Amino acid sequence: MAVLKEVQQNYGKLKQYINGEWIESRSTQVYENVNPATGEVIATFPSATDEEVNQAIESAHAAMKTWGAVPLRDKAKYLFDLRQKFVEKADWLSRILVQDHGRTIGEARGTLSRCIENIESACSALLLLTKGEYVSDLAKGLDQTLYWEPRGVFLIITPNNIPMHAWSSFVPYAFASGCPVIVSPSKEDPLCAQAIFEVTREVAGFPPGLMNLVYGGRNVNDKILSHPHVKGVGFIGSTDVGRKLFARAGELGKEASINGNGKNHVVLTEDMDIKTAVNGLLRGCYGMAGQRCLGADNLLVMDGVYDKLKEAFVAASAAMKMGYGLDESTELGPLVSKKGQQKVIDFIDRGIADGAKILLDGRNATVKGFEGGFFVGPTVFENVDPDMFIARQESFGPVANLIRVKDIDEALDLINNKDDYGHSACLFTQSGAMARKFTKEADVGNVGINVPVPQPYAFFPLGSKNESAQGTAKTRIDSMRLFLDQKTVTERWA
Amino acid sequence: MAVLKEVQQNYGKLKQYINGEWIESRSTQVYENVNPATGEVIATFPSATDEEVNQAIESAHAAMKTWGAVPLRDKAKYLFDLRQKFVEKADWLSRILVQDHGRTIGEARGTLSRCIENIESACSALLLLTKGEYVSDLAKGLDQTLYWEPRGVFLIITPNNIPMHAWSSFVPYAFASGCPVIVSPSKEDPLCAQAIFEVTREVAGFPPGLMNLVYGGRNVNDKILSHPHVKGVGFIGSTDVGRKLFARAGELGKEASINGNGKNHVVLTEDMDIKTAVNGLLRGCYGMAGQRCLGADNLLVMDGVYDKLKEAFVAASAAMKMGYGLDESTELGPLVSKKGQQKVIDFIDRGIADGAKILLDGRNATVKGFEGGFFVGPTVFENVDPDMFIARQESFGPVANLIRVKDIDEALDLINNKDDYGHSACLFTQSGAMARKFTKEADVGNVGINVPVPQPYAFFPLGSKNESAQGTAKTRIDSMRLFLDQKTVTERWA
Amino acid sequence: MAVLKEVQQNYGKLKQYINGEWIESRSTQVYENVNPATGEVIATFPSATDEEVNQAIESAHAAMKTWGAVPLRDKAKYLFDLRQKFVEKADWLSRILVQDHGRTIGEARGTLSRCIENIESACSALLLLTKGEYVSDLAKGLDQTLYWEPRGVFLIITPNNIPMHAWSSFVPYAFASGCPVIVSPSKEDPLCAQAIFEVTREVAGFPPGLMNLVYGGRNVNDKILSHPHVKGVGFIGSTDVGRKLFARAGELGKEASINGNGKNHVVLTEDMDIKTAVNGLLRGCYGMAGQRCLGADNLLVMDGVYDKLKEAFVAASAAMKMGYGLDESTELGPLVSKKGQQKVIDFIDRGIADGAKILLDGRNATVKGFEGGFFVGPTVFENVDPDMFIARQESFGPVANLIRVKDIDEALDLINNKDDYGHSACLFTQSGAMARKFTKEADVGNVGINVPVPQPYAFFPLGSKNESAQGTAKTRIDSMRLFLDQKTVTERWA
Amino acid sequence: MAVLKEVQQNYGKLKQYINGEWIESRSTQVYENVNPATGEVIATFPSATDEEVNQAIESAHAAMKTWGAVPLRDKAKYLFDLRQKFVEKADWLSRILVQDHGRTIGEARGTLSRCIENIESACSALLLLTKGEYVSDLAKGLDQTLYWEPRGVFLIITPNNIPMHAWSSFVPYAFASGCPVIVSPSKEDPLCAQAIFEVTREVAGFPPGLMNLVYGGRNVNDKILSHPHVKGVGFIGSTDVGRKLFARAGELGKEASINGNGKNHVVLTEDMDIKTAVNGLLRGCYGMAGQRCLGADNLLVMDGVYDKLKEAFVAASAAMKMGYGLDESTELGPLVSKKGQQKVIDFIDRGIADGAKILLDGRNATVKGFEGGFFVGPTVFENVDPDMFIARQESFGPVANLIRVKDIDEALDLINNKDDYGHSACLFTQSGAMARKFTKEADVGNVGINVPVPQPYAFFPLGSKNESAQGTAKTRIDSMRLFLDQKTVTERWA
């Protein structure tokens, strides 16, 4: 637990990062950053003052020029160097992530791998996707070129559930595109942002102002977005907040990539391998304590396998080991915050009130030695009507709903008509034909076949359909489309 | 003039095209469609009723399935067939375009070439840009695929200046993407839309509902956009209207590609070839009677060549032959409407009132035999201050402003600080170094070197920066990003 | 049968096409072109003289300049026009193909669709794949561009089995790349080449010399390839001839794409749908009388389904209707030539001599009214040892070998160790896992899952591995890599 | 000079690297590796025995499976790690390169940057260029996928002039493609290969057999290439040797990428900046002692600037500081070998004998303290007839020919008709029109505008035309096409 001490000593009072320096805020507002496994305050942090926000914007604006003047091959060098910094600091970052967010150390290591993959993907994008196109003699003597140029400074808003992964889903690509950023992290786990900046600033070639970190969340976001120097926003969070942000960007003449909620279905068929499926469901339903956008919510189980699956799944769920994430044997960590914990408990209450049958109840979960932690145990419902609140809304906790279906068509009907978000859907089967049908017909952004969490690799976007996303440019490698603008050149010299 | 008669007989009363049929509207509202060279009414047209709007939307929604069920290679066949229809009807469409919009027959033929190029580009996009990506063994036994799927029904809003070109900048790509459209044309020249639909409907393979045509402009646009079946909007028009539309799409959770105004600069340097430049300027300033978004507005002329250029340009401007577009010898046609004509005259008045010196005055231009036409002659100002109204706002008429600059840096300073739109900028020079500097530093979407109208080919987007556009997906081939959505599939079979 | 008469009248004496004109050869050598269904001579043709070969090369060389001077957008226009000519003449070409090659009219129509798809794919390739790449400020002030330029004149050698499809697999792409061609068709069916040239020459924009047609086969091929103006060869034919050609090109410093034989396997598993499989096998084994490179040869049938499959397949094979291809009801046409027929009969004899058991014997097949035709009926062997001649060598006739296997591993072992060509392999199954395993592990260029002939679309290469191909550039869209060469430009203006 | 000692101690007797281990050869044949600046033997090395060659091939063949089983994201990790190793060891490698090859330390550092760029480019290629393509519902229910699979084991032959850069132009891409390699370096500087392998083997994830190092040059190359497990060869060296290798690969049914000689022209025009040009020429003509394939040979100087350029260039050439490469002030190092030095002296002799006028004679160059070094000083000819031996053949030494031309057309005529290789050509000018004309019309693989050495970045191929290259796949990122083979999959599940 030495790390916790290090964290408390070094980061007791979080600073903002502006124009290449750690700045102590003049703000009198102080927020507390809590370790969700212990309930202890591990750091405090401010809400940026207007002046600090403006400094961040001005320094980012200035960095457009300095970073723009760095030749492509040097930009590449620095991005590859960034990847190396993350490799070297992956363990340290993982431990910070556990203490700030609550997930298990194994999950945190996985997250760091995803972050590194995003940086690697951004390295590739810089070299291969920022290339322009050239055409000679389109008409007689007329040549045309298409360039990609950075749009400008971007606001990047990261959510509390994936504070590091969200950073990596935008920022390395912004750098690759030539765009400075102002990062505004969730108020639940700002220490993660702090740690990311600590590592990133070690890359010697990044000019001051290329990246800025300000605290305050919604307090500061609109100030940033409405500043003329800021050209758009990359957002991961809730659909509700995102929609408003998108409309606001629209009024302001700016660009946005909005990534919101999901209410994901997993279809379990009679011909699947049950053991594989149940193992997958544990990860899908309880991974990151149910706080991932691709996590499993509604389990659509076919009649013929319903009883068997239910029995195996409930038993396996009940056996999950809850605890502090830094303990290597822990399988399920706490919710990110007291508020988060309460929302999940309310969600479960609502399910019961609406008539669903609770098979496993995680509301009173406690972990010895961590009585102050925000834990909720694995929770399983059955007799869930597809129109119930718990079947339609995200729980953002370790809650699974068993729903009986008679065939793949009924399953697809529920997915396509009851899931407004359209974020993801999975199927466990051995049939090539059923897999193909499901893949084509499920109206969701991410499909999984025999996998519980259909997480695409960094060189793909996170697919997102319907209400789960807005803006034609998405995250990861696809965010290059957010950050880059097109310029054409038509020349005649002959 | 036989064509005019044909038009009047066949199209006296324009119909709407809904669900694969020409429908007579039940609306009692009647608009008039005027030939701007003669002032005669050539057709009347309705404003779609709510029921008609809904029919269009429902039929488009139904076409998502029918068109979606058409295999790729058949879709390709039909798009290539569409190209052939346009080749065969190019002359007829050109003549319609002249009579409805007013441009010269030569300009109209050029437009049809651009339309055909867009269809050809959409054919290519269907075959090569709708391909998904596939990766095997990303992790052990794990394969991933990225698909592109059509988003849904789109509203396409076309402006009065490029009624056919705007159609071709979106619609063939929508078809290639799998998206049905509802086209809402400008109320100034709806006959052009009618004619386009006449030709397009001849492609046997396009299912009913794939394309719908409704009249009414702003009256109907919001009804369409706010319907749940409609997933977004492609718009070419004014920045003001577009910005509002984008914000509205944002509120509704929809996608938009907005393409607005331009106030374009041409820099004329001491080492250029004057004759080439003057010829280019005639096309840039007066082409389509100044009603093109890439047309030239402010001519930034270097000291050393100012007098010579001025003399040559004014003389050449004065010699332009104005007239009816169907007359092959005509070099300059009328404005699209009486209102359009008046706005240009007001614009010129304002320039004089603000103190600019008028060198050539087109306000009282008349054409013998076409006294009812909406003509404005070539107009040239000098002593134009860069902050004057006429230097900052689009004239949308045949008006050129001569502005004296001392060097390329002053020219770039004006372009980058006085042109809010950032649509295009051109340079005439013989110097490779100056061309390179200009290309890199001009903060506009389309750069021209020794060309007056930097029109990119259909397989490039129309570059657009700053206030000239909004939305990360642009027009032409880039509109594929508007119409297509991404889906990922993660599979494990091993 | 009117077509036959038209053919005989117009094409009794085939001409060569050189420098944009049909030229009567001065050669005294005369070959006969026979209708394989009737045995009648339908045309005679020469072997090009040295002078004629040189004229063809010189005209092609001259066309490099004229075609090179045609702007990209006009090249596109002409290629799209070519597509339209093929659409209009598809029926006529199909009938010629039947009479010259012998396939059924249905097969011929399918071929024409493939040809048109290739032209459409070449249209797309011209617009989207000939674009260069551009990078700005790689180092400070240093820009780089990558262009694609045509390599020069190419020799295109087409085989007797797919005289039109082979043409379309190279020539439209050569045009798109800017490369003139000299086509040297097989001596078995030169009329097909003649007909293709008749249609292609109608495209007004193709300059003289862009395409040339000479007869003589191997007599003339080396003369052409060794001429300094000729930069390479595209070949579809036998692996033996191809290998020599590739080595010869190597000595001469030229490029080559060689596409040779296949000995293809179809694996039939216990969980497949038998009816689908048998229907597929009829097409795979007997389509084009077994003369297609992707046709099925060895049927690897799993124990549990062997007897059932055998019974159904032999019965269905025996019921195939043989006849003249122009008869719409014909299911199986003749071999392309007397020699081809004899080779198949010898192949069957060899199988019997080597100890395989013949279940259905097509050697004495006759068709009433077409007693002079080169027919061989459906032939099925069993008890075929995987090392027998008939199991290792291409039959190029309607011959199927039933081989019993115990599981997918044994099947893959045979495919990967007994098929030297590695051209294609298919599997019929319902299992997603087995399909995935087969796809990854079969060391062949083209895999089929539940399809008997894994023909990729024109915008993919024909995959080819091991001895079935040589040269890193393949056919169809991939032949762009054969025809185009790369040029880089490094510029510093700052 | 401590490095030299380290080299002698550790590398006195070079080992071969086979199956993941340093192996002492059983060969009795011993070659000497000499430091060209001192003439001292710094190491000895063997010629691989047949058994050693076979071991290398077998281990590489086995590595196809082990490396093939490494998931994509781990392969990426290891390639990015390789990049880091090179960053860390760049200084050490640079010093080895100087001592083994003779170039200056500045040039060596530049080389290492190029090597790192290639590794970075290979990282990107792995992530973005090995992706397959996927198409759904091509025909009804029919899906198709295109994969890229590694072809197999490749022989990589590296030349004496760029022993490290050549390695990086193939090997990282082979790894990215999944192909193991056997590297056969030039016998002039094998220590460089040794050092590269030392660094590369530190990447923990590369399996034994993925890379093998054998000595012996032509003695062993054919043994390797003709082995059935070896699927092709990547070669950089002389055109003569390469052509034979390509033909040999052809006979054997294998693939090859051959990169040979160049005889490069630089055109110097009247409107250029003389100082920039002369500085460039020093680098172009004398960089790496004239031993680079992109180095400048023939200087085509326009009449009006001839005298001025000649005077400035000869003076600057004479002032070059020759010396040991490890001395930071050295501007020109020795030739790679005694033999290399003698060839350059013979070349100069031949120029004089043929009647060219020698303006600066480097034949008797000596460096104090390095009397045993293989130095040749800057040498300048004038009155060189374009048909002379020295104007047509590569000198591979610091020799420049001044040739007077009257205009750009004469210059292009010489380039296009007297340079058989077509490797590169440069132009110094201020005119955009002249640059465009030169770029389009120079029939060479690499064009430079205002740069003396048109070296493209690693994410471009080294352009190569005519006799400078053979094989449609080139080096750097383009070598992915050499190493990867295409497989198509056609599926029907519906």
Instruction: For chain D, give the secondary structure using H, E and C.
Output: CHHHHHHHHHHCECCEEECCEEECCCCCCEEEEECCCCCCEEEEEECCCHHHHHHHHHHHHHHHHHHHCCCHHHHHHHHHHHHHHHHHHHHHHHHHHHHHHCCCHHHHHHHHHHHHHHHHHHHHHHHHCCCEEEECCCCCCEEEEEEEEECCEEEEEECCCCHHHHHHHHHHHHHHHCCCEEEEECCCCHHHHHHHHHHHCCCCCCCCCCEEECCCCHHHHHHHHCCCCEEEEEEECCHHHHHHHHHHHHHHCCEEEEECCCCEEEEECCCCCHHHHHHHHHHHHHHHHHCCCCCEEEEEEEHHHHHHHHHHHHHHHHCCCECCCCCCCCCECCCCCHHHHHHHHHHHHHHHHCCCEEEECCCCCCCCCCCCCCCCCCEEEECCCCCCHHHHCCCCCCEEEEEEECCHHHHHHHHHHHCCCCCEEEEECCEHHHHHHHHHHCCCCEEEECCCCCCCCCCCCCCCCHHHEECCCCCHHHHHHHHEEEEEEEEECC
Instruction: Using a CB–CB cutoff of 8 Å, tell me whether C433 touches chain A.
Output: yes
Chain B CB within 8 Å of residue D76 CB: no
- Is it the case that residue A269 has pLDDT exceeding 70? yes
Measured between beta carbons, which residues in chain B are less than 8 angstroms from residue C83? 80
Query: pLDDT tens, D438-448?
Result: 999 999 999 99
Task: Tokens 């750097």: give the residue.
Answer: D476
Q: Scanning the structure block, which residue is given the tokens 């030495």? A: A2
Residues on chain D touching C435 (C-beta within 8 angstroms): 491
- For chain B, give the longest Cα–Cα distance: 81
Residue B102 in tokens: 């007013």
Structure tokens at B341: 């004509």
Q: Is C437 within 8 Å of B83 when comparing Cβ atoms? A: no
Cα-based angle D341, D345, D346 (whole degrees, multiple of 5): 115
The pLDDT value recorded for residue A2 is 46
Mean pLDDT, residues C235-256: 95
Asked if residue B2 has pLDDT above 90, the reply is: no
Q: Which chains touch B (3 or more CB pairs under 8 A)?
A: A, C, D
Query: How far is residue A414's CA from residue A443's CA, in Å, rounded to a whole number?
Result: 11
The D residues from 449 to 468 touching B (CB cutoff 8 Å) are 449
Residue of B nearest to C128 (CA): B124
pLDDT score at B3: 52
The answer to whether residue B202 neighbours chain C at the CB level (below 8 Å) is no
Q: Hey, are the CB atoms on B470 and A253 less than 8 Å from each other?
A: yes
Please give the C-alpha separations between residue A381 and each of A352, B310, C451, D271, in angstroms, as whole numbers.
Answer: 9, 82, 44, 82
The region, left, alpha or beta by phi > 0 then psi within -120 to 50, assigned to residue C168 is alpha
Mean pLDDT of A278-292: 97
Interchain CB distance below 8 Å, D127 and A121? yes
Structure tokens at A448: 């999984």
Over residues A245-270, the mean pLDDT reads 96
In this prediction, residue D465 carries a pLDDT of 87
| Chain B residues near residue C123 by CB distance under 8 angstroms | 80, 120, 123-124
What is the pLDDT confidence band of residue A464, given thresholds at 50, 70 and 90?
confident
The catalytic residues of B are 293
**Does C328 score more than 90 pLDDT?**
yes
Letter for the amino acid at A171?
V
pLDDT tops 90 at residue C2:
no
Contact: C488, D255; criterion CB under 8 Å: no
Number of other CB atoms surrounding residue B28 within 10 Å: 8
Tell which B residues from 240 to 259 touch A, by Cβ distance under 8 Å.
243, 246-251, 253-256
CB proximity list for C60: less than 8 A, separation 6 or greater:
C153, C180, C181, C182, C209, C210, C212, C229
Asked if C433 and B493 come within 8 Å (Cβ–Cβ), the reply is yes
pLDDT tens column, C429-447? 999 999 999 999 999 999 9
Between B and C, how many residue pairs show a Cβ–Cβ distance under 8 A?
Answer: 79
Query: Is D204 an interface residue toward A (CB < 8 Å)?
Result: no
CA D418 from chain centre, in angstroms, equals 23
Torsions phi, psi for C323 (to 5 deg)? 165, -170
The pLDDT assigned to D12 comes to 84
The neighbour count for residue B30, using CB atoms within 10 Å, is 11
> Which range, of A462-476, C84-98, D348-362, averages the lowest pLDDT?
A462-476
Q: Which residue in chain C has the smallest CA separation from D449? A: C491
Q: Quick check: B247 and A243 CB within 8 A?
A: no
Percent of chain B with pLDDT over 90: 96
Cross-chain Cβ contact B142/D430 below 8 Å: no
In a mutagenesis test of the D interface, which of C233, C254, C472 is the best target, namely the one with the most D β-carbons within 10 Å?
Answer: C472
Residue C435 touches chain D, beta carbons under 8 Å: yes
Put simply, the chain C residues between 113 and 142 with a CB less than 8 A from any chain B CB are 113, 116-117, 120-121, 123-125, 127-129, 131, 136
3-state helix, strand, coil in chain A (%, to 5): 45, 20, 35
Q: Which of B316, B305, B306, B304 is nearest to B280 (CA)?
A: B316
Could you state, in order of their start, the residue ranges of all structural domains in chain A?
Answer: 16-260+468-490, 265-457
Give the confidence band of C5 by pLDDT, cuts at 50, 70, 90.
low
- Tell me the pLDDT tens digit for each residue of A257-266: 999 999 999 9
pLDDT in tens, A375-403: 999 999 999 999 999 999 999 999 999 99
User: Per residue, what are the HEC states of A168-186?
Assistant: HHHHHHHHHHCCCEEEEEC
Residue C1 predicted with pLDDT over 80 = no
Q: CB-based contact (8 Å) between D417 and chain C? A: no
- A16-260+468-490: CATH topology is Aldehyde Dehydrogenase; Chain A, domain 1 (3.40.605)
CA-CA distances (angstroms) from residue B348 to A34, B113, B383? 66, 33, 14
Among chain B residues, the shortest Cα distance to A450 is held by: B492
C271 touches A at CB < 8 Å: no
pLDDT of residue C358: 98
What size, in residues, is chain A? 494
Q: Please give the structure tokens belonging to residue B396.
A: 């949308």
D439 φ/ψ sector (left φ>0, alpha ψ -120 to 50, else beta): alpha
Token duo for residue B59: 């039929």
pLDDT digits (tens, 9 = 90+) for C360-404: 999 999 999 999 999 999 999 999 999 999 999 999 999 999 999
User: Has residue A330 got a pLDDT over 80?
Assistant: yes
User: Could you report the per-residue pLDDT of C446-462, keeping only the tens digit for each?
Assistant: 999 999 999 999 999 99
> Over pLDDT 90: what percentage of chain C?
96
Candidates D83, D117, D120: best to mutate against A (most CBs of A within 10 A) is D120
Interface test with A, best of B243, B487, B491 (most A CBs within 10 A): B487
Structure confidence at residue B11 (pLDDT): 72
A265-457: CATH superfamily: Aldehyde Dehydrogenase; Chain A, domain 2 (3.40.309.10)
- CA-closest candidate to residue B43, choices B4, B98, B17: B4
Low-confidence ranges of chain D (pLDDT < 50): 1-2
> pTM, whole model, 2 decimals?
0.97
SS (HEC) of chain B: CHHHHHHHHHHCECCEEECCEEECCCCCCEEEEECCCCCCEEEEEECCCHHHHHHHHHHHHHHHHHHHCCCHHHHHHHHHHHHHHHHHHHHHHHHHHHHHHCCCHHHHHHHHHHHHHHHHHHHHHHHHCCCEEEECCCCCCEEEEEEEEECCEEEEEECCCCHHHHHHHHHHHHHHHCCCEEEEECCCCHHHHHHHHHHHCCCCCCCCCCEEECCCCHHHHHHHHCCCCEEEEEEECCHHHHHHHHHHHHHHCCEEEEECCCCEEEEECCCCCHHHHHHHHHHHHHHHHHCCCCCEEEEEEEHHHHHHHHHHHHHHHHCCCECCCCCCCCCECCCCCHHHHHHHHHHHHHHHHCCCEEEECCCCCCCCCCCCCCCCCCEEEECCCCCCHHHHCCCCCCEEEEEEECCHHHHHHHHHHHCCCCCEEEEECCEHHHHHHHHHHCCCCEEEECCCCCCCCCCCCCCCCHHHEECCCCCHHHHHHHHEEEEEEEEECC
**CB C484 within 8 Å of CB C456:** no
Tell me, letter by letter, the H, E, C secondary structure of C378-392. CEEEECCCCCCHHHH
Q: Is the ipTM reported for this complex over the cut 0.95?
A: yes
Q: Residue type for A306, please?
A: Y
- The tokens describing C377, both together, are 């009926």
Question: How far is it, in rounded angstroms, from Cα A95 to Cα A2?
Answer: 10
pLDDT of residue B12: 83
CA dihedral B83, B87, B92, B98 (to 10 degrees): 80
For residue A1, name the pLDDT band (cuts at 50, 70, 90): very low
**Model pLDDT, residue D2:** 46
Mean pLDDT to the nearest integer, B311-316: 98
Percent of chain A having pLDDT more than 90?
96
> Which of D256, D446, D472 lies nearest to residue C481, judging by beta carbons?
D472
Q: Which residue of D has its CA nearest to A494?
A: D433
- pLDDT per position as a tens digit, D165-215: 999 999 999 999 999 999 999 999 999 999 999 999 999 999 999 999 999
Query: Is C433's CB within 8 Å of B76's CB?
Result: no
Judged by a CB distance cut-off of 8 A, whether residue D61 touches chain A is no
Return the structure tokens found at D253: 């049914």
Instruction: Check if B16-260+468-490 and B265-457 are the same fold.
Output: no
Q: Do D73 and B139 touch (CB under 8 A)?
A: yes
Among residues A115, A179, A285, A293, the one annotated as catalytic is A293
Q: Which of C302, C275, C293, C262 is nearest to C392 (CA)?
A: C262
Quick one: pLDDT at residue D431?
97
Average of pLDDT values for A39-50? 96
Nearest to D83 among A80, A136, A493 (CB): A80
Token pair for B320: 């332009």
| Subunits with 3+ C-beta pairs closer than 8 A to D | A, B, C
Q: How far is A432 from chain C (nearest CA, A)?
A: 4
Query: Phi and psi at residue A100, in whole multiples of 5°?
Result: -90, -40
**How confident is the model over B259-289, as pLDDT tens digits?**
999 999 999 999 999 999 999 999 999 999 9
Q: What is the distance between the alpha carbons of residues B312 and B276, in angstroms, rounded to a whole number?
A: 11
Size of interface B-D (CB pairs under 8 A): 70
Place A219 in a pLDDT band, splitting at 50, 70 and 90.
confident
